[in-house]
Structures are given as C-alpha cells and as structure tokens.
C-alpha cells in the first residue's frame, strides 16, 4: 500500500491508449497474444498478472483512466497507480524546476504508436522528447518480474515512472541539447543521461511524502525499507549489464547505454539521500561515474 487511501488523485491527466488485442486474428497485437500463450506453454508460469484486466480500447483510441479518484484506487490498480504517480511527480518537479511544464502520460494498452516508435511491453517504458510524453505499458512490470527477478513492487513501479519523468526534466532544462548522443560506451553521454534520470528518480522518492492533495493529505506513505530495496532492485534489474547477461551470457561495456546495475543503484541512492542538486553525472570523470 503505497498511497494514502483517502488522498484525492482525481486531478490526474493521464490517458490510456491502446492497440486492441480484440482485433480478430489480426495485426501485431494478435501475434503478441500468441507469444504470451506460447510463453505460458513453455514456462508454465501464471500470466494472470501480465494480462491486463482493464477492457481493451480500440486501435489508436485514447480514453480516460476510469475510476482513478483516490489513493485506494491507486493502490488497487497499476494504471491508476501510474496516473496518480504522475500527479505527485508533477507537483514535486514544479517546486524544483522554474517554468516546469507537465509531460503527458500515456498508459499503453497492448501497443500504440508514438513519434519515437512503437510503444508496448516489449519496448519497455520510455520518454519521447519531441512529444514530451511518457509511454508505459503496465504489463511491462509482469515481464520484469519474470525475466529479471525484479520484484516490481509498487514503489518500484513508481521508480520506473519517475525515471521517465527524469528524462522529461532533462528535456526541459536542456540536458539533452547540451549533451547530445555521442555513441555507446561506459563514459558516453547516453550512460550519463540515464544515470542522471535514476538520480532524479531517487531524489523524488526521498521527498515523496512531502507532496499533498488540496486537503493536506500526503499522497504517499513513507516507503518501507523493503519497498526501497525493491525499487533499487528494479533499477539494477534493468541495468544494461544484467540484461546482457540474461540475454547473451556475456557483458560488453561498449554497448552499454544505461550503465551497470551497480551504477544505477548508486545514482538512485545519491539522489535519494542528497536531492537533485547531487545529480550532475556529467561533472564526474569517466572512471568514477
Ligand atoms: Zn532512461
């Protein structure tokens, strides 16, 4: 239970947009459904946590996230938790960044198109700078649990959302323009950008009980040590070296774009303990990043 049950999260502006698994026999969404069934056959794992319980929306259609009014709703449902999390993140960053403007949050249902490519649980969550939009398919968290041993608990989900918000902040304050993509590798701007987003996420988690609704109710409860460990574990589980070990059996630092698990966890904790001012990953010499 991450949110205070009676906190008012009704003002969120998140939208749900989908690719429609219900389209008979057709399209990539249909293939995705088949892949899920095959996965289940081969592994015998219960996929009830992976298959979304919300009604499907038609391809490309956008809709409001229903029944997302209170913290209790956010505790009960992944899509509402993300929507409520966006409300709290916006409130935090408004106090940290002058002239802050909110990103859009699209909760992806199966898959949808963006200016940055297709969004689905296979691509994972991402931020699309030209649209200033965060895309997250909540079924990604089920895959994270199965593939990378991350517990993907409630706070870990909010950490992933906060990481994408970190990229939005970078976009607003000019980090992406000042440090353009200069290729892969452990000292690259790409790795520094990702580690800074982890640090920004940690900064918010360290301050997350300070944001309150219009009645003064804190949106979020103080995280437990276990929840913080979960979030750090999630950060580690999506580290590039871990993904490479899972997928290929060896680690090639030259292809890193996110940083190692150890680096991601360390920068998350740096932000958590010291706030966003401590997140200048671009000022750190390569060897000690
Ligand atoms: Zn990132």
Give pLDDT tens digits for 93-150.
999 999 999 999 999 998 899 888 888 888 888 899 999 999 999 998 888 888 778 8
Please say if the pLDDT value at position 67 is more than 80: yes
8 lies in a domain? no
10 lies in a domain? no
The arithmetic mean of pLDDT across residues 146-167, rounded, is 88
Please say if the pLDDT value at position 57 is more than 90: no
Alpha-carbon distance values, 130 to 72, 114, 120, 157 (Å):
34, 10, 19, 24
Can you tell me the distance from the alpha carbon of 92 to that of 200, in angstroms, rounded to the nearest whole number?
A: 11
Which residues lie across from 113 on neighbouring strands?
Answer: 118
6 lies in a domain? no
Please say if the pLDDT value at position 77 is more than 80: yes
Can you tell me the distance from the alpha carbon of 258 to that of 249, in angstroms, rounded to the nearest whole number?
A: 18
251 C-alpha to ligand 1 centroid (Å): 19
Q: Are 219 and 202 in contact (CB under 8 A)?
A: no
120 C-alpha to ligand 1 centroid (Å): 15
135 C-alpha to ligand 1 centroid (Å): 12
122 C-alpha to ligand 1 centroid (Å): 15
160 C-alpha to ligand 1 centroid (Å): 9
23 lies in a domain? yes
Please say if the pLDDT value at position 186 is more than 80: yes
Residues in the chain: 289
- At residue 20 the predicted structure's pLDDT band, cuts being 50, 70 and 90, is low
105 C-alpha to ligand 1 centroid (Å): 15
7 lies in a domain? no
191 lies in a domain? yes
The tens digit of pLDDT for each residue in 233-268 reads 887 787 777 766 776 666 667 777 788 889 999 999
The residues whose Cβ lies within 5 A of ligand 1, an ion, are 194, 197
Can you tell me the distance from the alpha carbon of 188 to that of 259, in angstroms, rounded to the nearest whole number?
A: 9
167 C-alpha to ligand 1 centroid (Å): 7
pLDDT at 258: 81
Please say if the pLDDT value at position 61 is more than 60: yes
Number of domain units in the chain: 1
164 C-alpha to ligand 1 centroid (Å): 6
Query: Tokens 């409630």 belong to which residue?
Result: 154
Alpha-carbon distance values, 178 to 219, 232, 252 (Å):
34, 28, 27
241 C-alpha to ligand 1 centroid (Å): 15
246 lies in a domain? yes
152 C-alpha to ligand 1 centroid (Å): 17
Domain around 280: 15-288
193 C-alpha to ligand 1 centroid (Å): 8
Which residues lie across from 120 on neighbouring strands?
Answer: 111
Query: Tokens 């699209």 belong to which residue?
Result: 106
Average pLDDT, the chain: 83
Can you tell me the distance from the alpha carbon of 51 to that of 39, in angstroms, rounded to the nearest whole number?
A: 12
pLDDT at 80: 96
9 lies in a domain? no
pLDDT at 249: 65
């Amino acid at each position: 239970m991450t949110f205070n049950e009676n906190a008012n999260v009704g003002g969120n502006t998140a939208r749900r947009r989908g690719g429609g698994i219900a389209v008979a026999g057709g399209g990539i969404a249909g293939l995705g459904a088949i892949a899920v069934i095959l996965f289940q056959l081969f592994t015998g794992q219960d996929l009830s946590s992976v298959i979304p319980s919300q009604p499907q929306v038609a391809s490309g259609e956008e809709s409001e996230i229903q029944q997302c009014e209170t913290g209790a709703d956010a505790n009960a449902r992944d899509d509402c938790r993300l929507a409520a999390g966006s409300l709290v993140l916006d409130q935090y960053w408004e106090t940290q960044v002058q002239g802050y403007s909110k990103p859009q949050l699209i909760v992806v249902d199966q898959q949808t198109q963006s200016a940055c490519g297709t969004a689905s649980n296979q691509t994972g969550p991402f931020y699309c700078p030209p649209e200033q939009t965060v895309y997250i398919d909540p079924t990604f968290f089920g895959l994270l649990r199965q593939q990378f041993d991350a517990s993907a608990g409630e706070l870990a989900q909010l950490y992933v959302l906060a990481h994408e918000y970190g990229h939005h902040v970078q976009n607003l304050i000019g980090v992406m323009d000042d440090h353009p993509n200069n290729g892969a590798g452990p000292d690259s701007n790409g790795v520094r950008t990702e580690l800074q987003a982890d640090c920004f996420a940690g900064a918010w988690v360290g301050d997350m009980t300070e944001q309150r609704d219009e009645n003064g109710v804190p949106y979020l409860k103080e995280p437990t040590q276990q929840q913080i460990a979960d979030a750090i574990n999630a950060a580690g589980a999506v580290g590039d070296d871990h993904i490479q070990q899972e997928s290929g059996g060896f680690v090639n630092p030259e292809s890193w774009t996110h940083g190692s698990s150890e680096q991601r966890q360390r920068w998350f904790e740096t932000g958590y303990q010291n706030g966003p001012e401590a997140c200048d990953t671009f000022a750190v010499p390569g060897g000690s990043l």
